[in-house]
Amino acid sequence: MVLTIPERLAGQRLDRALADLAEEAGLGISRSRIGALLADGAVTGPGADGKNPAKHRVAVGAAYVLTLPPPIDPIPEPQAIPLDVVHEDAHLIVIDKPAGMVVHPAPGAPDGTLVNALLAHCGDSLAGIGGERRPGIVHRIDKDTSGLIVAAKTEAAHSGLSALFATHDIQRAYRAIAWGAPGIERLTGRDGIGMETGGWIRVESQLGRHPQDRKKMAVLSSGGRHALSRFRVAQRFGPEDKPYASLLDCRLETGRTHQIRVHAAHIGHPLIGDPVYARPRQLPNVAGDATERAKIETFPRQALHAAKLGFRHPIKGELLQFCAELPPDMHELLTILRRNM
């Protein structure tokens, strides 16, 4: 592809100018990727073969030939794992991920991940991201959280989706089942917690690694990253004055690691089944059938589901909105709660 420097980019660094033109052309190639291509000799034109080509100042009318190498095969192997595909086009794919599936290969989970499954499912429709034929993962949900996740199939879609997530222009709604039921009267006066219209409880804090346990996240008094969640009680289970559990609607304004789980625990209502942020609990004997009480108390994962996902298509510009019903295990948990409480 030939990219010609217009007047508005005269005097700019070569890597910055080419990244700008590549974005206009719909290639969605990052500036760092342009730098790597320059270093590999994949760009020809004035200054592109110099000692430090990325810093070369470009002139009006200078033409550069950008040669993108064919995507190389990624290290993760394609695996034919069934996927619940909610939406797919030439640019992106939306999956309803089951609980128990890791999103990306990592130590302890080298395969059987969503990435392995997408490599097999998408095949040659993956146009290549960062020079590799791989899906572009722009956000993640925990292994034992179920629900909607979007992945890019092209570099341009990956760049566009990444920008949407960076500016929080993504609608994300979760459903969770928590111990007890949050009430603003018990939260009044706590820093970063407030009541909003429609019954929403706003929880805002700094979130970062737990100072004593680096495998956990925690609300921090200083440091960390800004995190904002909203919770609303959709249904209470148990006595009106002291519910045993509740179904929560959750909204994410930011996307920090374990954000909903940490914020729910922070306001005193950790998610049922959460092995990290909730202590084991026992329901009173009056709370229904003993066998069904045990199913609630021993629910095997955090009861959290990414139920809604909305965003503007990074290439077509149309508004996309997706919903995913609760998975069978959470549906059964709700049925037990409604039947016994």
Rounded CA gap, 35 and 54, in Å?
6
The per-residue DSSP string of 171-197 comes to: EEEEEEEEES---HHHHTT-TTEEE-G
What is residue 249's DSSP assignment? E
Q: Are 137 and 153 in contact (CB under 8 A)?
A: no
- Neighbouring-strand partners of residue 93: 88, 151
* Cα–Cα distance, 63 to 45 (Å, whole number): 6
For the purposes of burial, counting CB atoms within 10 Å of the CB of 21, is it exposed (0-12), middle (13-18) or buried (19 or more)?
buried
The answer for residues whose C-beta is within 8 angstroms of residue 262's C-beta and 6 or more apart is 207, 217, 218, 219, 227, 277
Out of 15, 20, 96, 142, the active site residue is 142
Structure tokens at 258: 């374990």
Residue keyed to tokens 């059938």: 289
Question: β-strand 193-195 against 225-237: which pairing, if any?
Answer: unpaired
CB of 68 closer than 8 Å to CB of 45: no
Q: Give the count of beta carbons closer than 10 Å to the beta carbon of residue 280.
A: 7
Distance separating alpha carbons of residues 111 and 106, to the nearest angstrom: 8
> How many DSSP H helices and E strands does the chain contain?
8, 15
CA angle 140, 296, 293 (to 5 degrees): 180
**Annotation says 111 is catalytic:** no
Helix (H) or strand (E) holding 165: helix 155-166
Tokens 């939260």: give the residue.
187
Which residues are the active-site residues? 142
